[in-house]
Chain A
């Protein structure tokens, strides 16, 4: 079956702009999480959505937001981009409950100039 799909794969934006990233989870998966990966901070949790509700949130400023649609697809938005937002943004999906491993997408590489 198809894996986690993230679009776009690469993105270049200018400081001050906003950006929206998309994630399509594995069919049947209802939980979607987002992570940011930078060389300095490593992999950091942004937020998790389940059934269109944010279930958990990491320690990021309010410029970072997300949402989940009824088909479980998710988007994350970053407003007023800063140079430090340059990172690999990863989406992961898992079944609704239980102790499963997350399946990650290949990520969106965002560069802010």
Chain B
């Protein structure tokens, strides 16, 4: 019961911005959008999350459409170390409810030299 849809793979040139899309057309009003990435053989790494406003941190920016049905993770200056599988996840906001992370297949981002 996938709640998000992501492209299977994407390439990006080193130094350029990587824009990773995610569709979450059935998102509920109380669900946040989270992004994680997993570099080969390591545990997933939290990147960023948001509810409806655009968010930015030291790693990335998250752009959520006004209707909240899709979002884009932006890595402003991709490096070879950003090569990883990127997961877009929707998760209830309320504490105590079923808030486990449901991972889909993610997007394999390959940063090319």
Residues of chain A with a CB closer than 8 A to B98's CB: 56
Residues of chain A with a CB closer than 8 A to B99's CB: 48, 56
Question: By the criterion CB–CB under 8 Å, are B49 and A58 in contact?
Answer: no
List which B50-83 residues lie within 8 A (CB) of chain A. none
Question: By the criterion CB–CB under 8 Å, are A97 and B42 in contact?
Answer: no
Q: Can you identify 13 A-B contacts, CB atoms within 8 angstroms?
A: A42-B105, A43-B87, A43-B103, A48-B99, A48-B100, A88-B41, A92-B44, A101-B36, A101-B49, A102-B44, A103-B46, A104-B43, A104-B45
Q: Given contact pairs A42-B103, A45-B100, enumerate 11 new A-B contacts (beta carbons under 8 Å).
A: A4-B43, A33-B100, A99-B32, A99-B49, A101-B48, A101-B49, A102-B46, A104-B44, A104-B45, A104-B46, A105-B43
Question: By the criterion CB–CB under 8 Å, are A58 and B100 in contact?
Answer: yes
* Cα(A107)–Cα(B43), bound, Å: 6
List which A1-59 residues lie within 8 A (CB) of chain B. 4, 33, 35, 42-45, 48, 55-56, 58
* Cα(A56)–Cα(B40), bound, Å: 28
- Chain A binding surface, main DSSP class: strand
* Cα(A105)–Cα(B41), bound, Å: 11
Q: How far apart are B97's CB and chain A's nearest CB, in angstroms?
A: 9
Residues of B whose CB lies within 8 Å of any CB of A are: 32, 34, 36, 41-49, 87, 93, 95-96, 98-105
* Cα(A108)–Cα(B112), bound, Å: 30
Question: By the criterion CB–CB under 8 Å, are B46 and A101 in contact?
Answer: yes
Residues of chain B with a CB closer than 8 A to A44's CB: 103
Selected from B44, B46, B47, B93, the residue in CB contact (under 8 A) with A43 is B44
Q: Does A106 contact B (CB under 8 A)?
A: yes
* Cα(A74)–Cα(B93), bound, Å: 24
Task: Select from chain A the residue with minimum beta-carbon distance to B47.
Answer: A101
Selected from A48, A55, A101, A104, the residue in CB contact (under 8 A) with B34 is A101
- Most chain A beta-carbon neighbours within 10 Å: one of B43, B45, B99: B43
* Cα(A105)–Cα(B100), bound, Å: 16
* Cα(A42)–Cα(B95), bound, Å: 26
Q: Does A90 contact B (CB under 8 A)?
A: yes
